[in-house]
Amino acid sequence: MIEFSVNSYFYPNGRLGLECFSEKFEGCEFLKGRTGSGKTTILRMMNGLIPEFYGGKLDGFIRAFGNKPNPRDIYYIKQNPEEMVTCLDVIDEVAYPSIQQGKKASEAKREAEEVCEEIGIGHLANRKTYEISTGELQLVEIAAAITSGSKFIVLDEPFAHLSRRNALRVIKIIKNLKHVVSEHRIEFEKYFDRTVNLGLEIENIDIPETEKGDVVYNGILELREREIVAITGDNGAGKTMMLKGIAKDMRRKGINFSILLQHPPYHLTENTVEKEVEGVNREVVTAFGLEGIKNRHPQSLSSGQMRRVAIAKAFKAKILLLDEPSAAQDINFRKKLVCLLRKCGKTAVIATHDEELVKYCDWRIEL
């Protein structure tokens, strides 16, 4: 059991991370909240990343199984499993935490093989970590957590980059383990015993209708002015490849467009948020909540905020190619994004797993 009694926590840069939070986590909980409501801060506190790794000022206490939180008891899996990779071979990756805890390599590998078989990823054991899909990598990291013998697994937005099929597979696997999942895709909330809500309220946003204009791109697909198209499909189906292909074709044809890939720091090259979004419609900047952070360095923001800056920056072009824009964003953002695209008369192609977002698009391509 993980017990929280936190009055306040400030990150080393003085930013308030969490305030007045008291809760007991028993396992199989779903944590939801607005972007920036402190979900990741809570997860980081569970295994001691905060304050042991991050520093900062914590007023209050956290107890994990009666002790000070530590990574041996609580295993934290990040939103982007690529950033968890420590080995080139899958089997070594699964055995890695156990080896770091002092277990003999041969024993750790044998256990890793057993766990891989148990959770149905035995066929991945001899593959390279950089050759498998994000969904498969997520399962590999869960296997590593099980092999390490952790008492509790904490997952930060595990479904952000997964198809529905893969997300349900992850849920099935973690069902028998004590776990907390922090997630924006609230359609999966029903699969958990309890929900902890950090103040998420569903806003009522009306999406305006728009008249479609002339064909602005005719290549890999046909795209009309002010049209919003969704590309969907399982992990590894080729959504990002298709988006990149369209970008390459548009570049060759001299069409004005901007592309947003899944990792927002790729796009941020200025020293302040204000400079990044210079020339962007003020309504977009305000709706994305960037006014309050306009003087901050883009790379110092949370991943959710960085993504919003990168999306706002993409609004400079007439056509937007967006790869998973709703990842790390709360439920209201999906409607807000489509609403702004419509209001600003933009044309967009969106590669996504998010069925909610797909609902608001004009049509979809299923890969």
Residues that bind another protein (CB under 8 A): 47-49, 52-53, 71-72, 75-78, 80, 82-89, 92, 96-97, 99-102, 105, 128-130, 144, 148, 244, 247-248, 251, 259, 261, 263, 265-269, 299
CA angle 262, 284, 340 (to 5 degrees): 80
CA distance 316 to 330: 23
Q: Please, which residue, 1 or 105, has the CB nearer to another protein?
A: 105
DSSP 196-221: EESS------PPPP----SEEEESSS
Least separation in angstroms between CB 105 and another protein: 4
CA distance 327 to 178: 25
Least separation in angstroms between CB 44 and another protein: 8
- Torsion over CA: 242, 246, 252, 258 (sign): negative
Q: Please, which residue, 65 or 191, has the CB nearer to another protein?
A: 65
Least separation in angstroms between CB 313 and another protein: 11
Q: Nearest-CA neighbor of 329 among 42, 17, 35?
A: 35
Q: Please, which residue, 126 or 204, has the CB nearer to another protein?
A: 126
CA distance 330 to 34: 5
State the first-to-last Cα distance of the chain, in angstroms, to the nearest integer: 42
CA 106 to chain centre: 34
Three-state secondary-structure class, residue 323: strand
Q: Please, which residue, 197 or 299, has the CB nearer to another protein?
A: 299
CA distance 78 to 13: 22
Three-state secondary-structure class, residue 234: coil
Least separation in angstroms between CB 252 and another protein: 11
Q: Please, which residue, 18 or 260, has the CB nearer to another protein?
A: 260
Least separation in angstroms between CB 363 and another protein: 26
Per this entry, what is the length of the chain? 367
Q: Please, which residue, 38 or 71, has the CB nearer to another protein?
A: 71
Least separation in angstroms between CB 146 and another protein: 13
CA distance 18 to 243: 37
Q: Please, which residue, 246 or 338, has the CB nearer to another protein?
A: 246
Least separation in angstroms between CB 2 and another protein: 15
